[in-house]
Amino acid sequence: MDVFGIPIQALMGQLMLGIVNGSFYAVMSLGLAIIFGVLKIVNFAHGAFFMLGAFTAFLLAQHLGANYWTTLLVAPLAVALFGMLFEWLFLRRLYGLDPIYGLLLTFSLVLVLEGGFRVAFGSSGQPFATPEALQGAINLGFMYLPVYRGFVIVAALLICLVTWFVIERTALGASLRAATERAELTQAFGINVPRLVTLTYGVGVGLAGFAGVLAAPIFHVNPSMGSSLVIIIFAVVVIGGLGSIMGAIVTGLGLGVVEGFTRVFYSEFSSTIVFLVMVLVLLLRPAGLFGREEG
Amino acid sequence: MQLRYLTWPLLAVGLLALLAVPFFPQVVYIVFVMKALCFVLFACAFNLLLGHTGILSFGHAAFFGTGAYVTGHLVKTYGLPTELGILAGGLVAALLGAVIGALAIRRSGIYLAMITLAMSQLVFFFFLQAPFAGAEDGLQRIPRGTFLGVLDLNNDTALYYVVVGIVGGGLWVVWRTVNSPFGHVLRAIREHEPRAISLGYPVARYKVLVFSLSAGLSGIAGSLKAIIFQLAALYDVHWHTSGDVILMTLLGGMNTVFGPAVGAAIVAALNHYLDPFGAWVTVIIGVVFMACVLTFRQGVVGELSRLLNRRRIAPLRQPAGRRTRAHH
Amino acid sequence: MSAKSPIKAIALSSAALAMGTACSAMASNGFSDDVVRIGVLTDMSGIYTDLSGEAAVEAVRMAVEDFGGEVGGVPIEVTYGDHRNRADTGASRAREWYDSEGVDMINDLSNSGVALAVAAVADERQRHAIVNSSSNIGLTNEYCSPYVTHYTYDAHSLAHGTGKSIVEDGGDTWFFLTVDFAFGVGLEEQVSEVVREAGGEVLGAARHPLNTTDFSSYALQAQASGAEIIGIASTGADAINAINALSEFGVSPDQRPAALLLWYDDIESLGLETAQGLLLTNAFYWDANEETREFSERFYERTGRMPNMAQAGNYSSTMHYLNAIEAAGSDDPDAVSKQMRELEINDFFAKGGHIRPNGRMVHDQYLWEVKAPDESEYDYDYLRLVTTIPGEEAFQPLEDSTCHLLDNDE
């Protein structure tokens, strides 16, 4: 059976790969969405934190001989710590101002991080081996899926679910959501809102770092690896509905699939399609697919 | 309003300095000044939206680049006279601005910014694919031609004065717009849109109009750049350029008319004079921007005027009474 | 002496007068301003920093030092600039160098948009430019100039190097993974032509946007095509990601990737484990013979890296330019241009190399294969020579060039 001249088997394969790619988008945009939700700041440095995650993993493996599982745990934490430091030192001075200043500050951070890594490690990047336990491929009937790609889906969805659970179902998440809606009132209830905000930023960029470590064995680790990703992630979050956790996850996966199919039918357009989708969504559903319309 | 007293002398000194540039090649390179002037016009045109109407466009590269490509293509392939080519670049950009503006202003804030970003990505895709644009090689060897059939623009000095004239004209349009009844309505929209609507202003039409004007002037800036460097390249339509113009505007001060001009000059100079630092240049620019956001948020000109007006409370707003003049 | 028309000379001197500077006015013999200045215009801060960047500047400095630091009794100065991968920035810097800083020759010019823009300025200002690290063959065709030299490689040599050798070796069905840029599409078309001429077949192509990270979809398309050879018409991060994906998705033993422009540095970032068996055309490899090793070890001591073909080309072309000045006894651009095209190039980089009237430097190209990890015996031991492609075969036949300096059309 063929669809537009392409065997259905091949399309199933592309669907699968779209989900893998979408998993990265989901983790990344989840981080961006919770940062926006709480800090009301568009974190332009999200792609740079993605790169930071991948590079930290590389450095840990290279110089300390850390195995993959350690890096998967340590690198996102390191990225989160760095992010919290950045928030604590600089970003918090801009709260309550026009969001454009936050955009500008995080953009400057991109220049510093990418430029700095290029000075330190050159532009051409580093090899990163797939962990031995995850080498090889599984036969899915319609394709051979490399085990590592399967692992990416599982790991990404797991971290998304955990994050969603913490935010929607725990006390910590409840105060977080309260701080999002009414920061001053929450503060009055004795909750340390500034600390909560710092933590949120840490978690958000930590997720980007996690995606970076996941990406390291399959995408080329180099200083500019996150720079073209960031505006796609913006688009994903806006399409999902700003601040909507579920929206970011579902849209991330969905757009991965849409992009995957575009690669088959009109490959040149594959990095642009997400913007076409965004225009259409915003014109038809002003608050995005999963966002709440505000009066 | 002490800065107001200083405005005219400062402008006069600036203009004299600009006119003198060709006579002091050892001080500053003339082509660099021309390039900076293009960005000056671009940033001031952009600020019609950001500073004066309160609209953040994250897709202004689309207009700048469209101006560059349209002018380049018309002049190179169809032999259109340079001045008509520049005019055409501005007009097409203004038209595009009207279309994108009409779509974008249906939303506000970050959503509006994202629509403009998305539309500019589509424009980028068009120029990436269009056979005449030459993809990453760009549209090369655009002839400079003559101005009005008499002035040979291959002479840098002649071209320089033409560029100064056109950019000056563009800035005059910006200044007139801001200080016209139209400009006061725009400020009313920025300060309190619902009130502007309830006062009976066709706010949407005003917004599209100012969008189109801003796009048109940005297009002319791009056209001039295409003529100066005899090329139009993908970077002109890339979203990085949209980001650059936001930076310039904020750096100079978005609440002033000519602050963005100063910002544009600073960014151009940073890009031009930091070469000796080699690979560190990106880091240095990043640190400079960071310091600016954290320390003088009003921008260079904004902070300057604040210093001069320290005793006044809200010096950057127009007196409230003047808004009423905006009634037709 | 000079070939300039009187009108041009007047225009030039009046322009110089208007600018109030004497340094752009040239004497008809001897040296223009008692110093020969070479500008290295390169990517110091972007994605090509490893391919050219500071090491390219160092290569030019080495050439100047080895030449003795002066030519015809005047000192040689080296300056450098960053084009930021923007054609306008590059063109602006080139103009400034030629107009007000007395730069006589600009070298390197990574990024083809920058190279084309600077070539235009060089032609207009009648000063030299030598392109070492971009591939656009327009430089020796519609945009050729007596002052522009295209030195190390070009799209034609890449296509005819890798493409032809592989087809002759029996790899006659092809599928391309092409970056959707003029560079990629042009390369794909050229190789396709070579493949078809040699009796092979092109089964299809997937054109991906620049900076695509996830190539899995394309790996699947390439697999499904059933082609024996998967031609990768991209470079840098795109090529690396593509090769990684092909290896990850286990392109079967009867399918083989061929990189159409892979840099020595790219092999390092791929790692031999993934890169082994890849075929690539490079004009230079540090470990080819005694002479290349001698140069490369000196280069390594100064920069901490082995030279790639562009950096070696920067050295060789600078040397050639200085030799031409010495032979001409002047840095007058026309006289130097004439000598550059007459003198033969014989150094570690090229044997019997010569520059054609359209600016193309013709020299042998080499097809290499990447070694397996256990074949690599010492640091930086990456490549094995497969075959040498004589310069006359590798580069575009002169009669096909559309350069206006040739009388091909008449």
Task: Give the separation between CA B137 and CA A239, rounded to whole angstroms.
Answer: 33
Q: Report how far apart, in Å, the C-alpha atoms of C195 and of each of A144, C166, C186, C225, C255 are.
A: 30, 9, 14, 16, 16
| Residue (of C40, C107, C118, C126) closest to C361 by Cα position | C107
- What are the DSSP calls for A83-149, one per residue? HHHHHHHTGGGGTTS-HHHHHHHHHHHHHHHHHHHHHHH-SS-B--PPPGGG-SEEE-SS-EEEHHH
Q: Does residue C176 share a domain with residue C64?
A: no
Compute the distance between CA of residue B94 and CA of residue B219 in angstroms, rounded to an integer.
7
Instruction: Tell me how close the Cα of C231 comes to any Cα of chain A, in angstroms.
Output: 17
C19 CA: distance to closest CA in chain A (Å): 37
Contacts of C82 in chain B (CB under 8 A): 275, 278, 281
pTM of the predicted protein model: 0.92
Length of chain B in terms of residues written: 328
Low-confidence ranges of chain C (pLDDT < 50): 1-29, 410
Q: Which domain holds residue B122?
A: 28-239
User: Does C318 lie in the same domain as C377?
Assistant: no
Query: Angle of helix B156-178 relative to helix B203-229, nearest 10 degrees?
Result: 170
How would you classify the pairing of strands C256-259 and B151-152? unpaired
Element at C79 (helix H, strand E): strand C74-82
Residue matched to tokens 């020299």? C363
- Write down the CATH number for the domain with range A26-284: 1.10.3470
Paired residues of C280 in beta bridges: C368
Whether residue C17 is contained in a domain is answered as yes
Does A126 sit within 8 Å of C269, measured CB to CB? yes
Domain ranges of chain A: 26-284
Alpha carbon distance C294, C202 (integer Å): 42
B115 to chain A, any CB pair closer than 8 A? The answer is: yes
Task: Taking residues A264-275, report their average pLDDT.
Answer: 94
| Same domain? C254 vs C380 | yes
- At A117 the pLDDT is 95
pLDDT digits (tens, 9 = 90+) for B20-60: 999 998 889 999 999 999 999 999 999 999 999 999 999 99
Identify whether the C-beta of residue A258 lies closer than 8 Å to the C-beta of residue A18.
Answer: yes
Q: What is the mean pLDDT of residues B282-288?
A: 93
Q: Indicate the number of domains in chain C.
A: 2
Tokens of A121: 């490690």
**Closest to A238 measured CA to CA, from A275, A184, A183, A185:** A275
Any long-range contacts for C55-58 (C-beta under 8 Å, 24+ apart)? C55/C299, C55/C303, C55/C305, C55/C307, C55/C311, C56/C107, C56/C108, C56/C110, C56/C132, C56/C133, C56/C310, C56/C311, C56/C314, C58/C299, C58/C302, C58/C303
* B21 domain residue, yes or no: no
User: Nearest 5°: CA angle at C193, between C187 and C199?
Assistant: 135
Query: Looking at beta carbons, which residues of chain A come within 8 Å of C214?
Result: 17, 20-21, 24, 218-219
User: Cβ–Cβ of A122/C49 closer than 8 Å?
Assistant: yes
Tokens for A63? 């110089």
Answer yes or no: do C271 and C343 share one domain.
no
d(CA B107, CA B247): 23
C184 touches chain B (CB under 8 A): no
Across the interface, whether the CB atoms of B282 and A235 are under 8 A apart is answered no
CA distance A186 to B178: 42
Write the CATH number for C102. 3.40.50.2300
Backbone angles phi, psi at C395, to 5 degrees: -95, 160
Bigger pLDDT: B217 or B272?
B217
The answer to whether residues C133 and C18 belong to one domain is yes
For A53-76, write each residue's pLDDT tens digit.
999 999 999 999 999 999 999 999
DSSP strand E in A114-257: where?
137-139, 144-146
d(CA A157, CA A23) in angstroms, rounded, equals 7
- Could you tell me the two tokens for C280? 């690539």
Residue C402 located in a structural domain: no
Q: Cβ C271–A127 below 8 Å, yes or no?
A: yes
- Between CA A166 and CA A177 the distance in angstroms is 11
pLDDT tens per residue across span B176-203: 999 999 999 999 999 999 999 999 999 9
Average pLDDT over chain A, rounded to an integer:
92
Q: Which two tokens stand for residue C89?
A: 């920035």
Q: Judge whether B271 lies within some domain.
A: no
**Which residue, among A4, A259, A6, has the nearest Cα to C221 in the 3D structure?**
A6
Q: Which residues of chain B lie closer than 8 angstroms to C49, CB-CB? A: 279
Residues C382 and C301 in one domain: no
Residue ranges making up the domain that contains C186: 156-282+365-394
DSSP element (H, E) containing B18? helix B2-20
pLDDT, chain B, mean: 90
If asked whether residues C114 and C89 sit together in one domain, one would say yes
B288-303 burial string, b = 16+ CB within 10 Å, else e?
Answer: bbbebbbebbbbbbbb
Rounded Cα distance between B213 and B95, Å, is 9
Q: Do C38 and C76 share a domain, yes or no?
A: yes
Chain B residues close to A234, C-beta within 8 Å: 114, 117
List, for residues A96-110, the tens digit of each pLDDT value. 888 889 999 999 999
Examine the pLDDT at A279 and tell me if it is beyond 60.
Answer: yes
Q: Is residue B324 part of a domain?
A: no
Helix C216-225 × helix A245-265 angle, to 10°: 30
For residues C345 and C310, state if they share a domain.
Answer: yes
Q: Give the residue carrying structure tokens 């809102």.
A: A193
C52 and C91 part of one domain: yes
Tell me: do C355 and C377 sit in the same domain. Answer: no
User: Is C404 domain-assigned?
Assistant: no
In a domain, C405, yes or no: no
pLDDT per residue as tens digits for the range A252-263: 999 999 999 999
Q: Say yes or no to pLDDT of A213 above 70.
A: yes
Q: Is the pLDDT of residue A209 over 80?
A: yes
Residue C321 shares a structural domain with residue C335:
yes
Please indicate, yes or no, if residue C406 is contained in any of the structural domains. Answer: no
**Residue bearing the bigger pLDDT, B216 or C163:** B216
**Residue B175 counted as domain residue:** yes
Q: How many domains does chain B have?
A: 1
The CA-CA-CA angle for residues C145, C146, C149, to 5°, reads 80
Give B103→chain A minimum CA distance, Å.
Answer: 8
Tell me whether residue B256 is in a domain.
no
CB–CB contact B290 A105 (8 Å): yes
Which chains does chain A touch, 3 or more C-beta pairs < 8 A? B, C
Q: Do B275 and C81 touch (CB under 8 A)?
A: yes
**Sign of the C-alpha dihedral, residues B28, B29, B34, B36?**
negative
Whether B285 is covered by a domain: the verdict is no
For residues A212 and B226, what is the distance between their CA atoms, to the nearest angstrom?
A: 39
Binning chain C into helix, strand and coil, the percentages to the nearest 5 are 45, 20, 40
Q: CA–CA separation, C150 vs C409, rounded Å?
A: 22
* 8 A C-beta contact, residue B223 and residue B264: no
Q: What is the predicted pLDDT for the residue at B275?
A: 85
CA distance B263 to B250: 7
